[in-house]
Amino acid sequence: MKQLLLGTLLVCLSFQIIGCTRGTESTEAAREPERMTDSDLERKIEMQLSSDPQLRDARLSISADAERNWAALSGTVESEAMRTKAVQLARSAHPGLTVEDKIDVKPRQMSRSEYTQEMAGEEVRRARTHEESVGGSLDDAWIHAKVVAQLIGDSETPERRINVDVDKNIVTLRGTVDTSQQKEEAERIARQTDGVKRVNNQLKVVRS
């Protein structure tokens, strides 16, 4: 009888030990963090970008590699400020995340009918800070805004090293560029801008 009780006790003890071991294994497994997938990282970045209404509307493309803690952003935004904000928000999605910036800046072209006197006044003040001149008509201010925006957004022209003067729908380009191709590109942009009657290209090629 004692042997039977002892055997039963040993069996029960064995089950308890096995149960405890399995419970410990389950607890340890539960404690292990799940590995982030590429899709998880992309969703995190998308949530950060969506917190800004303008960037949400821009619908930037996201490519992520969770193992490398790396992501790339591509698409088009209307300003450098938006591009900078997009990169900052993406980086905040995960600690130490490396973000490759492939975003293009392309300012929205405002139609002549949308352009107001207040906008023209602001454009004239902005032109003066860059030692540029703008004629007294609404057309001149509108043309100046469009030409400058296109020059800044074009990777083939040196940003803000080209001065743009506009008077009676005639554009004068001043300043320095590195190559004759940049000079030609700047003139092409100005000539193809709506409302421009003529372009005086006074840009000088100064190779650095």
Amino acid at 53: P
pLDDT per residue over 19-64, tens digit each? Answer: 555 555 555 555 556 789 999 999 999 999 999 998 998 899 999 9
The pLDDT value given to residue 150 = 87
Domains of the chain are 38-105 (3.30.1340.30), 112-205 (no CATH)
CB atoms within 10 A of CB 156: 14
The pLDDT value given to residue 172 = 98
The pLDDT value given to residue 12 = 52
For 110-130, give the DSSP string.
PPGGG--HHHHHHHHHHHHHT
Q: Which long-range contacts (CB under 8 A, 24 or more apart) does 155-162 make?
A: 156/181, 156/182, 156/185, 157/182, 157/185, 157/186, 157/189, 158/182, 160/130, 162/186, 162/203
Q: Which of 146, 137, 147 is nearest to 117 (CA)?
A: 137
pLDDT per residue over 81-133, tens digit each? Answer: 889 999 999 999 999 999 999 998 777 777 889 899 999 999 999 999 999 99
| The token pair that represents 205 in the structure block | 């090629």
